[in-house]
Structure 1
Amino acid sequence: MASLAQLVPVTLVLCAYQLVSGYSFHNCIAEPYSRGTFFKCIHRNETDISAIIGDLPPSVVNLTITINPLWHIPSHSFVHLLKLQDLRIDHNHLSVIDQSAFQDLHQLKSLNLSFNNISELNTSVFEGLHNLSFLSLTHNKLKQLPEGIFLSVINLETLLIRQNYLMNFSGIAKSVSNLTRLKILDLCFNHLTSLRHSNVSLPKSLTNLYVCRNKLSTLGCKPSFLRSVRFLDLSYNAQLLATAFQGVDLRRINYLRLRSTSVKVVEFLHISNINPSHVDFSGTGLRNDILLVDLCKMLAKKVKWIHNLRLSSNRIRNLTNYSLRHCPNIRGYVDLSLNELKSIRCLNFLNSHRDIQSFSAEHNHLTSLPTCKTKSVVYFRNLEELSYRYNRILSVNSHAFYHTPNIKQLKLNINNIAFLDRKALKGLERLETLRLDNNLLTDLFNDTFEDNINLQILNLRNNRISVIFNGTFLKLSNLTTLDLGGNKITHFEHSGVDGLKSLSKFYLDGNNLKRIEPSLFGAFQHTLKVLDLQSNMISFLHERTVFRPFMNLTKLSDLKLDGQRPYGLTVLPHNFFQGLHSLESLYLTNNNLFHLPPDAFDDLTGLRVFKNLRNVTKLIAENMGIQNFSQEVFGNLTKLRILQLNRNVMESIEVNALESLPKLHYLDIRDIPLSCTCKNTLLQNWTLKNKNVQVVYLYNLPCKQNEKYRFCKFDTKVCYIDLGEYLYFSTAAVIFLFTVTPLLYVKLYWKMKYSYYVFCAWFSEQWRKLREEEENCKYDAFISYNSSDEQWVMDQLLPNLEGNGSSFKLCLHHRDFELGRYIVDNIVSAVYSSRKTVCVVSRNFLQSEWCSLEIQLASYRLFDEHRDVLLLVFLEPISERQLSSYHRMRKVMLKKTYLQWPGSDCTDPEQAQDLFWNQLRRAIGSVNKLRTEEIQQSEGCVTTESEEKEHFESSDENDYLLP
């Protein structure tokens, strides 16, 4: 259950699509439900297009290759994708496209090559694309179009060549003249200076021509050249004059943009045959009453009425009752956006145009909306849409819209409204949509919306409302959408939402709600479909709380509870979701649900969260901290088709859990630290061989241990063994070791350690060589001593054995050991290349591990080979109690004679020392087999012991040398 709790924060989306087969691809993703026809290859670090699309199936119909370092499209790049209809290769680094790059794509309808570095195109680059209807070359570096480049694309309808460096319009006109179906030609953001052309004409099918943001100073075209054009955009050609239109036939133009040109509109209307109602006067410098009056008079001479009057971006600061009085009757839309108006005076400047249907004064400097319930007010009974967005309105006074009683859509959003009079919306009985979002409102009252009985959409998002008082929405029985998100609401009063009998979408996200009161949904419990409670402060202390807030929401299909502040939901009470039988989408992301009661999701029969999710087709569990994906938690998702687990922390995925998803065809496990070990062997095999599931970017998934290696390629050979047999023997061995090891550790620790050294030495080549040459030893004796006794060795032993007429050759570790060689090998070599080993025994010697190893090796040779090779020399008296722990040395002393260095208590030290050296020289010189003879004590200074307390054959040759 703990693992289940970690998996709860997911987004579940229900869909109803058929099962399709998917596959894994190196650099592309097949769109879910596309039946292998829609592919996206985005953000791939590849410069070779064959590496991107080489493994795509021939069924591809729609292909997107974007945001890649791709710079070249070779010939025949798409020869295996003959069914392509839509091809996007935009936002790359393309600079070279070979002549036959798109050869054989006879079914291609749309080609997007925008936002690249293309500076030239081959004449035949589009050859064979007979069905191409859309072509975009936007934002490249084209300076000209080759003649005849569009000869093959006879069905082209839309051609976008904006944001290039084109200068010759005549060449463009000639290139497109044969395109008899061309409807849209976009040449904006180029370097065209005129529309001059040779003896060619634009296609009669061309209706939309965009030549904005060029360097036009004149048109220079024949009078009938633009006869077929309906939409003409000439804006932002700063040098274009009204005289440029002299004689040009514009009678069929339905919309003409002249923004930011040098065209004087009155002069233009005087010389042009265009219908004035089809001209957009935005940005034409009509900044004062004089210019507006002149315009209106000219318009009145031309027509009796106009549908739209667009006057945005003219820097108009004030409008009087005379400004538009002489204009012909306006029946449609008046646009005064993007000006400098500070007051609209209840629209009195439109007193002669009471038939307008829509008015916009967005992006002005309005600071308030005054009361319009006066005797002189002008009523606009046909006005249905009113927009004051993007102003600086601080207050809306009472009856501010009394002059527009029939408006259906009112936009007051994105202002600074802090005061909304209780009677501000008085009389707006037909209002259907009200936008008050992104203001500074703090309070709503029970009479604020009392007249808005037909209101359907109310948006109050991102204000500063903290409490919803009783009766606030009492009269809004037709409201279907209420957005209170992004406020500071802490609670609703008891009847705060009464009256909302038709509410279907309720947004409360981003508030400060700490509890969900069941009474909150009483008014609309049978109509609510969407409830958004994300990013509030809802939490519970324990799961036993009797709490069923959604009990009666029988129609709720979408519930959002994700991201509760400050730490997220940690506990869900029993039966928390009781009653939600129709729920289809549940959002619990960014919470910390550590434990769930077993009945938490019992009532979600339409969803059946996690276990037995029989109706869910899409499960998104991204970045949830999931540590495991098991059949126990995700079991029996019989209709699941899409599973997204990317950016979680699981190191492995159980294959049996994936195999329990019979309709799965899309699996996203990117950015998961999958380990390339034997526990993922089955997963690797499943991802590579399952032809019904597309594993997103399978061939690029890295190993956790080293991102240079790929999950799909790690070696699994060592994993295919008879695990049962190996586990049996390994388990038996482990049990035996755990049983015997403590005993061996207590009794045989040092023996095992020394045996290890001996064993290694026994197998070494040096040992074999020494055994072969043992009769021709290199040294007479190897001297084993502790460094604290080195002075006695150098001052006494060395001169008496190698000097004074003696011819012995001794092996000393500081002088004769081979530099750089392992010390154990040096010791073994010294013991076996010497006829004798002389151990200079002292209390320090007994405490030295290396000295003990040397006597161990020598005694091993003594007992194993029965050769008299070990001599013990005691430098100081050592009691039997002190030697009792050193069993090996005790055994040698019992069977072998040892020498005692004469002490200061001798009666004649010099004579005793001479005797000591003679005995030692004779012992080193002896080559006989092991003897048991004793050397008698001389003058009480040289001590021998010969009591055989144990028989040699009965002695344990494997006793420890050290305790």
Structure 2
Amino acid sequence: MSDTGSIRFNHVRTRANYSTKVSRLEKISIMTHPVGTYNGFFLSFLLIYVFLPTNSGKVCIGSQGQPDNIFPLVTELDLNHCNISSLQTCDFFQSYSNLQILDLSHNLLEELSFSVFQFNTFLQHLDISHNRLSSIQCSSLQFIRGITHINVSYNSFETMYLCKEFGSLTKLEHLGLSATSIRRYDFLNIAHQELKTVFLGIERLQEYESGSLQLLNTEKLHVNLPQKFTDSTVLLLDDFNISTTLEISQIMCRENCYNTITRLSRMVKRSRLSKLILSSITMSWYEVSQILKAVWRSSVEYMSIYRFILIKEFEYIYSDFSQGSLKSLIFENIIPLVFLFRGIHPLKIFSEMFVENFTMSDAEITHFFCPPEPSIFKFLTLTNNRITDGIFNQCDNLTTLQFLSLRNNKLEKLLIISYMTQTMTSLKHLDVSHNGLEYKESAFCNWSKSLVFLNLSRNRITDSIFNCLPANLEILDLSSNQLQRVSKEIEKLKALKELNLSLNYLTNIPDCGHINKNLIFLNIEDNLIYSPESNVLHNCKHVNKISIGNNKFWCDCDLRAFASTARILHERLVGWPESYKCELPEKLTGIMLKDFHPAEISCNVYILVGIIMGTMVVLLLLMCFLCKYFDLPWYLRMIFKWFRSKYRVRNINAEVLMGKRFHAFISYSQEDCDWVKQFLIPNLSKGDGSIKICHHERHFIPGKSIIENIISCIESSFKSIFVLSPNFVQSEWCHYELYFAQHSLFGKHSDNLILIVLDPIPQYLIPNKYKKLKAIMKHRTYMEWPKEKSKQFMFWANLREIIKIDFPVEEEEISYFNVALQEAT
């Protein structure tokens, strides 16, 4: 997009928070580069694209995904400096059905029909100043009948004539106008309306008819005086006689202004004004003093001077301020261009003024003199200056002073400030915030006994401050300091009603037992309170309102009792529940305390121990039940054997398996052959050939002796299975087989011997020649054939796992039987 067409959107100002949906949008501000000229294309562009607020506070442009509920929520729309030259359609503003404030100032409008706002029935404030309008379509004013503020100043109007349709704006309160000429009947059509403020920007005024302003009926008139208008006497005379409040701006007296100041002073004396405001003025102190003398002898009760550039000389000029009706005098934002003075310090003038309310703010003064005589000052405001600790040192003439504000100055020592107040016997309110005040001494502070309000916020105050506080305080502000705890000395403040300790370094809520029982409000927001004690809220039950929000709560079991109490006493907690959120641990960050409900078992050690012990008892009983009714130990032994077998098989050396052709050789008594043939062999072989069993009926070689066959089978088998029973110990051949197995296996590879007890064998039935068998059965684990069918599956699985192994494949496999036949030959 070129420079003439580029658009930038400044940040959205809103009082709402955004998540995935817009809940409330009140104000949209739009800003474009002041380059080029826009016409109806600009608003057509706005009709196509929508403004979508993002989490970063910026405005995004997009043509898709428009949320239909955004525009009706907008109440303020800022379109100033957008270079808009024409409003030709009402479709754009129709979307903003709740629009109340619209700023179209500083644009390029040359024509305007108020019909574009016919759907904005809630529109109250319309600013179209600083455009190029030369006329108003009066017939379209009917569409803004609910308007209360309208500013059409600084346009291209030649006359201030207001058509009769302005008289139908019955709710109009504030009106801004500008023109090059003012004639007698320009305001006739609004003469019946009671306005609150009328602003006249007439810097370029060329013609004025006497009495023209007399038709205005307004409480306040604000006039920007013309700079080159030669005869302003008549204009000023009318200004001073149409309202009770008059503000005059842009008085520039860089050269000789004697005649202007003289006429102005004369009119002030003759006027019926009660409030006079001079703003954006440039003159010497002599000229200002002449105006002040006239004001002091007039009906003016409130005088304010804002944005005052002081030029030429600033010298002390004595005036009698002892008589007059002036009650309040305000000097704010003084820019002195004079840095030298002669003789008496000119600031003494202000201390000699007999006025109840005096303000000297943003004037860069470093001192304020003590009145030479008893003063009538009641309210003295000396904020945003460079005043130091020496102010009002040993000053006895401020006995009527009730309010003193030294906010944002260069004060450093609180002890000196306390001694400053001891002669101010009527002082009730003292504001010394935004300074660099410290109190480190152990010396006693001597405050005025009448002081009930003290603002010490934003200083360098530490815990020792509680040794230096006025005894009769009712309201104390210690926010934004360096406090870490509240000492017991606070109990000396018997009348304390409000205490502000926010933005400090407190780690716990102060003990309310040491605070006055009449305390109404306690503020300890934004401190370092992680885990407040559970009973602090109960101890502070006499406090009507407590603000503890925005602290770094650590949501653990220690905070559970406090959170529970807070939910019960939430009506007394300011900001509940939004300001009370978990900060730590991270997994709970952002969770409100009202939703923090830790499990009872995780916080109560007795319940946890009881559950553990109960679980152990239940498991013990369950084990006993399983052992008694389901023979659980037997199953556990079998599982253990199964795992041990798998481990041993995995760790067998390949050399041990060389020459092995069978997984197991079976030795049994002939009386047990039925069990071997019907159960043992079928369950081991399974017909898949994965396990090879050496059985004498099939694998003994004809022509060889029985002893040789027994030895060959044992040596060619990975395991030897002996089926033990009373019949086994009575069999002679079984005796030989066990004998050879004893000599061949027990020494080197005793783990390859598997004993299966088919039927129990009493020790006395075993012959003495089987003494090795007796020793093995005493110290070695053997397998018992289970009679219950439910256990037999585990028995076979375990037995198969013991004997199952993969034999290494040789380069040329020779049948065992062929080799045996050749040897026999």
Contact 1:482 1:506 in 2 (8 A): yes
Gaps of 5+ in 2: 1-13, 29-58, 604-608, 624-633, 664-684, 695-716, 726-737, 758-769, 784-801, 803-825
1:337 corresponding residue in structure 2: 279
Q: Please give the secondary structure, in 1, of the residue aligned with 2:307.
A: coil
Judge conservation of contact 1:384–1:409 (CA < 8 Å) in 2: yes
Residue 623 to residue 834, structure 1, CA distance change in 2 (3 Å) = same
Aligned to 1:712: none
Amino acid paired to 2:450: S
Which SS does the other structure have where 2:233 is aligned?
Answer: helix
Distance 1:427-1:116 versus aligned 2 partners, 3 A rule? same
- Per-residue CA distance 1:599-647 (angstroms, 9 max, x = gap): xx9xxxxxx7345737656664433323344347865986542543632
Q: Distance in 1 between matches of 2:467 and 2:474?
A: 17
Whether 2:576 is the aligned partner of 1:630: answer no
Give the deviation of 1:358 after TM superposition: 3.0
Code of the residue aligned with 1:211 in structure 2: it is N
Q: How does 1:438-453 map to 2 (within 5 A)?
A: 438-445=384-391, 447=393, 449-453=395-399
Equivalent in 581, 588, 594 of residue 517 of structure 2: 581
- For residues 301-700 of structure 1, what are the structure 2 equivalents within 5 Å? 307-313=244-250, 317=254, 320-327=257-264, 328=267, 329-330=270-271, 331-341=273-283, 343=285, 347-349=289-291, 351-353=293-295, 354-355=297-298, 356-366=300-310, 372=316, 374=318, 381-392=324-335, 397=345, 400-401=348-349, 405-418=353-366, 420-423=367-370, 425-427=371-373, 429-445=375-391, 447=393, 449-467=395-413, 468-469=415-416, 471-491=419-439, 498=446, 500-516=448-464, 520-521=468-469, 525-526=471-472, 528-538=473-483, 548-564=488-504, 568=506, 578=514, 580-591=516-527, 609-611=537-539, 613=541, 616=544, 620-627=548-555, 628=557, 629-631=559-561, 635=565, 640-641=570-571, 643-644=576-577, 646-649=580-583, 670=591
Deviations 1:224-272 (A, max 9, x none): 343466655335x7xx532799755364575675565664065376876
CA offset digits 1:787-818 (Å, max 9, x no partner): 7x6xx98xxx5xx88xxxxxx699xxxxxxxx
Aligned match of 1:879: none
Identify the structure with the greater helix proportion: 2
Structure 1's 352 and 448: CA in aligned 2 closer, same or farther, altered over 3 A?
same
Whole-angstrom CA distance in 1 between matches of 2:206 and 2:103 = 26
Match of 1:835 in 2: 692
Selected match of 1:957 from 758, 781, 791: 781
* Secondary structure in 2 matching 1:391: strand
Aligned-partner Cα distance in 2 for 1:638–1:592: 23
Deviations 1:843-865 (A, max 9, x none): xxxxxxxxxxxxxxx98994799
Deviates more, 1:403-412 or 1:549-558: 403-412
Corresponding residue of 2:75: 114
Give me the whole-angstrom Cα distance separating, in 2, the residues matched to 1:173 and 1:473: 61
Q: 1:617 to 1:323 in 2, by over 3 A?
A: closer
The 5 Å alignment of 1:68-87 reads none
Structure 1 pair 115–411 and aligned structure 2 pair: CA distance change class (3 A) = same
Q: How far is the alpha carbon of 1:409 from its aligned partner?
A: 1.9
Count of paired positions: 620
Cα 1:114–1:163 shift into 2, 3 Å: farther
Where 2:289 maps in the other structure, the secondary structure is: helix
Q: Which amino acid aligns with 2:379?
A: T
Shift of residue 210, structure 1, vs aligned partner: 0.5
Residues 80-138 of structure 1, C-alpha deviations (whole Å, 9 max, x = no match):
xxxxxxxxxxx999999x9x999xxxxxxxx96424799xxxxxxxxxxxxxxxxxxxx
1:233 aligns with 2:179: no
Deviation at 1:188, TM superposition (A): 3.2
Aligned residue in 1 for 2:764: none
Distance 2:560 2:74 in 1: 45
Residue 476 of structure 2 aligns to a residue whose secondary structure is strand
How far 1:333 moved relative to its partner? Answer: 3.4
Counterpart among 151, 158, 175 of residue 211 in structure 1: 151
Distance 1:621 1:809, change over 3 A: same
Once the two structures are superposed, the pairs formed by residues 908-923 of structure 1 within 5 Å of their partners are: none
State the distance in 2 between where 1:411 and 1:310 align: 18
Retained in 1: the 8 A contact 2:361–2:385? yes
Secondary structure of residue in 2 paired with 1:226: helix
- For the residues of structure 2 that align with 1:618 and 1:551, how far apart are their CA atoms? 18
Cα RMSD for the two superposed structures? 6.4
TM-score with structure 2 setting the length:
0.57
Alignment partner of 1:482: what SS?
A: strand
Offset of 1:533 from its aligned partner? Answer: 2.4
Check 1:244–1:432 CA distance in 2 against 1; reply closer, same or farther (3 A cut).
Answer: same
Q: Are 2:744 and 1:897 aligned?
A: yes
What amino acid is the match of 1:114? T
Q: Any residues of structure 2 matched to 1:231-310 within 5 Å, and which?
A: 231=173, 233-234=175-176, 240-242=179-181, 247=186, 249=188, 251-252=191-192, 254=195, 257=198, 263-264=204-205, 267=208, 274=215, 280=221, 282-286=223-227, 291=229, 294-300=231-237, 307-310=244-247
Q: Distance in 1 between matches of 2:235 and 2:77?
A: 47
**Structure 1 residues 457, 861: closer, same or farther in 2, change over 3 A?**
farther
**Alpha-carbon distance, 1:399 to partner:** 6.0
The offset of 1:482, in angstroms, is: 0.6
> Per the alignment, do residues 474 and 752 of structure 1 end up closer, same or farther by CA in structure 2, a change over 3 Å counting?
farther
Give 1:234's aligned amino acid.
Answer: G
Measured after TM superposition, the shift of residue 458 of structure 1 is: 0.9
